Amino acid sequence: MKLVTDFILFIIALGIVEAVLKPAAMHWTKKGLVKWTPVVLDELDRVFPSLLLAKSNQDLDFFVRTKFSELTGEDWSSVNIDYFWQTYDPRVALDKVISREAQA
C-alpha cells in the first residue's frame, strides 16, 4: 500500500513540476532574454564581422551566453536561449555590416 501511495505522490509531484515550475522557469528565462537582447545585439553587431571571419557557431553561442552572464550576473552557460536565436537573425546583422562598409 505504501508503494502505491508513494507512486501517486510521485505522479502528483511530477505534474506540479511540469504544470507550474517548468512554465515559470521558461517565463523567467524569456523575460531575461527580452530585457537584455537589445544590449546583446548591439554588442554582437559590433563584433559580428570578426566573428563571421574567424569564428565558429560555437564561438558565437559562447559570446552571446557570456554577454548575458555579464549583464545579469548569472550563469547562462546551460540556459535555453532558443528564443534569442529566434529573435536574432545573423543575415540581418550581415546586411548591416555590408551597408556600413558600402557607406564608408
pTM: 0.54
Q: Is the residue at 83 inside a domain?
A: yes
* 86/73 Cα distance (integer angstroms): 23
Query: What is the mean pLDDT for each group of 10 consecutive residues in the chain (104 residues)?
Result: 74 69 63 77 80 76 89 88 78 71 74
Q: Residue 21 has what pLDDT?
A: 62
Cα distance from N-terminal residue to C-terminal residue, the chain: 78
* Residues ≥6 apart with Cβ < 8 Å to 47: 63
Q: Is the residue at 2 inside a domain?
A: no
| Domain hosting residue 33, numbered range | 29-103
* 79/41 Cα distance (integer angstroms): 18
Q: Is the residue at 22 inside a domain?
A: no
Domain count, the chain: 1
* Residues ≥6 apart with Cβ < 8 Å to 61: 81
